[in-house]
Amino acid sequence: VVVEKEAEIYKLSSTDRFRNTVMRILVKKNASLKFFNLDFFGNFSFDNVFIVLEEGARLTLRDFKAFGHRKAGYILVKLNKASKADIKSFFYQNGSGVADLLYLMRFEGEDAEGKLKGNGVVDGAGKIVFRGILDVKRGSKNIVAEETEHTLILSPEARMDAIPSLWVDENDVTASHSASSSSLDEGELFYLMTRGIDEIEAKKLIVRGVFNELLDELDESMKGEVEGVVNKIV
């Protein structure tokens, strides 16, 4: 895909069959792309996405993976001079399913800005591996590279492996990363229950809050389908 000026892409996968997707996207100078990559259910699904941002290009990427037996996602974004990438990852895994997600932002020009944020939930004996890599090449001065990730863990058997990485070959940069996980906030749960909401519904509201940011950004044609998936969680 070549984006000359402005584009919005929705890629939705919801199948029980094996799926392997390869995408190559070039966002031209000063162009902008909004990309929703949505993957629901499916026993085995694999994503390989490579996006190049030319000078001054803008990318807004929302990646959502939920359910399924085995999922692997690899998204690489290369930023050139004065380009910007805003990537948010949303994920859910349960049962004995495993999702292995890798996001790599490679900075190859001055004054670029890349932000990666991960939010998700893991339940049952599910497992999430979240690999966020910020790779700053020599000569990429005055860039901003930020990564944050948080996972809500609902079960003692659930597992979250967060692997944030900073690879920095330049001094004049702003770069940071953080990763955290937590169980349900008992205080928040108690507060909702004192308002007449039963425990099961209160848990659903808290979990749904993890994905509200994604739902708010979807257009009406897609929001209902994604909302239906979110409502199956917990």
Give 3-31 pLDDT, tens digit per residue.
999 999 999 988 778 889 999 999 999 99
**The pair of three-digit structure tokens given for residue 170, joined into one six-digit string:** 């330049």
Q: Where are the alpha helices (DSSP H) in the chain?
A: 186-194, 199-217, 220-230
Task: Output the pLDDT for position 29.
Answer: 98
Q: What's the predicted TM-score (pTM) here? A: 0.93
Give 124-183 pLDDT, tens digit per residue.
999 999 999 999 999 999 999 999 999 999 999 999 999 999 999 999 999 999 999 888
Task: Output the pLDDT for position 186.
Answer: 76
Three-state SS annotation for 72-139: EEEEEEEECCCCEEEEEEEEEECCCCEEEEEEEEEECCCCCEEEEEEEEEECCCCEEEEEEEEEECCC
What is the C-alpha end-to-end distance of the chain, expressed in Å?
Answer: 37
**The pair of three-digit structure tokens given for residue 80, joined into one six-digit string:** 């050139």
Q: Is pLDDT at 234 greater than 80 in this prediction? A: no
β-partners of residue 34 are 8, 60
* Helices and strands, number each (H, E), in the chain: 3, 14
Q: How many other C-beta atoms are found inside a 10 Å radius of the C-beta of residue 215?
A: 16
